[in-house]
Amino acid sequence: MDTTTLEDIAQRMLADGKGLLAIDESTPTCGKRFEDYGIENSEDNRRDYRALLLSAPGLGESVSGAILYDETLRMKTVDGTPFAQMMSDNGVIPGIKVDTGAKDLAGHPDEKVTEGLDGLRERLAEYHAMGARFAKWRAVITIGDGIPSAGCYAANAHALARYAALCQEAGIVPIVEPEVLLDGDHDIARCYEVTEETLTQLFAQLREQNVHLPGLILKASMVLPGKHAAQQADGREVAAATLRCLYASVPASVPGVAFLSGGQSNEDATAHLDAMNRIDAGAAPWKLTFSYARALQQPALDTWRGDKANTEAAQNALLHRARCNRAASQGQYDP
Ligand code: 13P
């Protein structure tokens, strides 16, 4: 394992004022996003939309890397430039989602385990040759009556750790993403408890699989009350609970935490990140930044609507949110 290279990539991903853009929706998920605007889920539309995002002028000033889906990494622009090349030219490091999705966990109703370890070593070698320098694997933890179960925590932590070890062997920085879902009516204390247990078990497994923590990035969910909770929380409370949870469970040798947006509004996702960076004011051992999909892309998709004539306006919509999050990653967001 070349730890210097891994650490160097992680540091570039976490450069001051930069975060990640997640555009790794699988083809069916991309179809769902397009459907809301009556956009046909064709290969050409997926290429045009993603090329629009990745070539937005100056994107690299706020976005250090973008997470792609397999199909996208293999694509070329209409003038024949490979996507990985177009990204590097725009100052954005290519990344790749390598899990094959969250599947029902046998013996555990309503719980999931993420699959994709079979053949992963070979896939990672191919992705590295195509220019990918980091990867992502998302585990899903659901809060409900009597869940998460011990079996669900353990199976997902184990898979994440085995994935991370394989990435590092291939010279690829793993983003480990255990997402505690926002669904449900639980309160913020319950989300805190589940998130802390998820992260504690994850880091125990990462250690057991000899994963080099300075060459990894944690993609965490924020500590929030459930979407249907009677009592919602204000931004400061979310930021304080999330920070407390990270301090309780994330080793200081991890270089950065890049949050997912998880269904929060665009503005909330930015404001919560900003509040954490204001409270913490650089004291935390990890960088605190963004790795948003919906909260970065939604205004761009809403502007584009499948019409070439809207390309520049859609790029500006993306750049606006990217700059807001750049400011939030430094505690300087001014809504
Ligand atoms: P959201 O920011 O939309 O939660 O997405 C993050 C992600 O990792 C997508 O897989």
The per-residue pLDDT for range 162-213, each reduced to its tens digit, is 999 999 999 999 999 999 999 999 999 999 999 999 999 999 999 999 999 9
- Closest residue CA from atom 5 of ligand 1: 293
What's the pLDDT score for residue 77?
96
Residues lining ligand 1, judged by CB closer than 6 Å?
22, 24, 138, 177, 260-262, 292-295
Give the rounded percent of residues in the chain with a pLDDT score beyond 90: 99
pLDDT score of 300 more than 90: yes
pLDDT score of 79 more than 90: yes
Beta strand extents in 80-234 (DSSP E only): 93-97, 102-104, 112-114, 134-141, 173-180, 217-218
Cβ density class 149-174: b for 16+ within 10 Å, e for less: eeebbebbbbbbbbbbbbbbebbbbb
What's the pLDDT score for residue 197?
98
CA–centroid distance, residue 43 to ligand 1 (Å): 21
Query: CA-based Rg of the chain, rounded to a whole angstrom?
Result: 19
pTM beyond 0.90, yes or no:
yes
What's the pLDDT score for residue 1?
82
CA–centroid distance, residue 268 to ligand 1 (Å): 15
Distance CA 234, CA 59 (A): 30
| Alpha-carbon dihedral sign for residues 59, 60, 65, 70 | positive
Report pLDDT digits (tens) over 256-278: 999 999 999 999 999 999 999 99
- DSSP reduced 3-state for 272: helix
pLDDT score of 64 more than 90: yes
Number of helical (H) and strand (E) elements in the chain, helices listed first: 12, 10
Give the residue numbers marked as catalytic: 177, 219
The interface pTM score, or ipTM, of the predicted complex is 0.88
pLDDT confidence tier of residue 282, bands split at 50, 70 and 90: confident
What's the pLDDT score for residue 5?
96
CA–centroid distance, residue 269 to ligand 1 (Å): 11
pLDDT score of 247 more than 90: yes
* Best probe residue, ligand 1, of 134, 260, 272, 297 (max atoms within 8 Å of C-beta): 260
Report pLDDT digits (tens) over 102-122: 999 999 999 999 999 999 999
C-alpha 197 chain-centroid distance: 20
Mean pLDDT estimate for the chain: 98
What's the pLDDT score for residue 7?
98
Report pLDDT digits (tens) over 213-246: 999 999 999 999 999 999 999 999 999 999 999 9
Mean pLDDT of 121-148: 98
C-alpha 276 chain-centroid distance: 17
